[in-house]
Chain A
Amino acid sequence: MKRFYLIGFLLLMGFDTLAQISFKYAGTQALPVAASLEWVLRVFGQPWVYGAVIGYIGAFFTWMALLKHAPIGPAFAASHLEVVSVMLLSIWLFDEHLNTARVLGAIAIIAGIVCLGMAESREHVPENEPAPAEI
């Protein structure tokens, strides 16, 4: 069962990461930004936007499956920790640099997400959770 959670969390992070990377590519290719139909058509006229759609849909169903079975705290944290994978990938894919502000900000945000995940875990004390042996 532990392995089921772990695969679920990684899958969720993977879909979220795919979505963010695709959003960036899609947006960059549709520049300049304008509140116009032309911009929307440019966005949907190249393939990356569909990567974002796949990422969104995949993340949605993974999240729903996780919520049914996995403890809410770690699931919550896993659903937001894609900031780490996205940051690391954007150095490699988009030649971005991590300045001091981004690193410090990321550390504070990740610490905050972990606190919130722990808070969720504490509030949802498993009362009628099926024993792992049953599955």
Chain B
Amino acid sequence: MTPVAGSISSLVAGLWLLNIVLDTGGQLAFKAAAGDEDAGDGIARWKHMASRPWLWLGISCYVIEFLVWIAFLSLIPLSEGVLLGSINIVAIMVAGRFLFGEKLTRLRVTGILLVTLGVVIVGVGG
């Protein structure tokens, strides 16, 4: 799957999308692991989390995301990359809204729109 000339930008876009999916998936998995009511406290809590899949799913997402992000940043300038990566904040809030019924207040919506606007400006104008 070595990229040929001309396919770089679609490769970058694909890695960017994959990063969003993995980052959001990982965060949600950690949220599910940490939010377990009968987990207990201290070491017992960690043992409980380790015996269930959520923690491991989260870790797997992060390990793959680690590699995806390195590949992504190696193809574009770092200053552009970190700005485009900010979209993860938005993805997580929107996912939290749909999966955990977290409230989107007016201030949150404003924040989400501003971050999205910023990412679009960077994405279009480089």
Give Cα distance in the complex from A36 to B125, angstroms.
32
Q: Is the CB of B79 within 8 A of A86?
A: yes
Q: Is the interface of B mostly helix, strand, loop or mixed?
A: helix
Give Cα distance in the complex from A90 to B76, angstroms.
12
Q: A33-B11, A101-B124 are in contact. Are A109 and B108 (CB under 8 A)?
A: no
> B13 near A: Cβ within 8 Å?
no
Q: Is the CB of A102 within 8 A of B79?
A: yes
Counting chain A residues whose Cβ lies within 8 A of the other chain, the interface size class is 35 or more
Size of the B side of the interface (Cβ < 8 Å), in residues, is: 43
> B9 near A: Cβ within 8 Å?
no
> B50 near A: Cβ within 8 Å?
no
> A1 near B: Cβ within 8 Å?
no
> B17 near A: Cβ within 8 Å?
no
Chain B residues close to A by CB (< 8 Å): 1-3, 11, 66-67, 69-75, 77-83, 86, 89, 93, 103, 105, 107-108, 110-122, 124-126
Closest 10 CB pairs of A and B: A101-B125, A27-B74, A112-B114, A108-B118, A115-B111, A109-B118, A112-B115, A105-B122, A116-B111, A105-B121
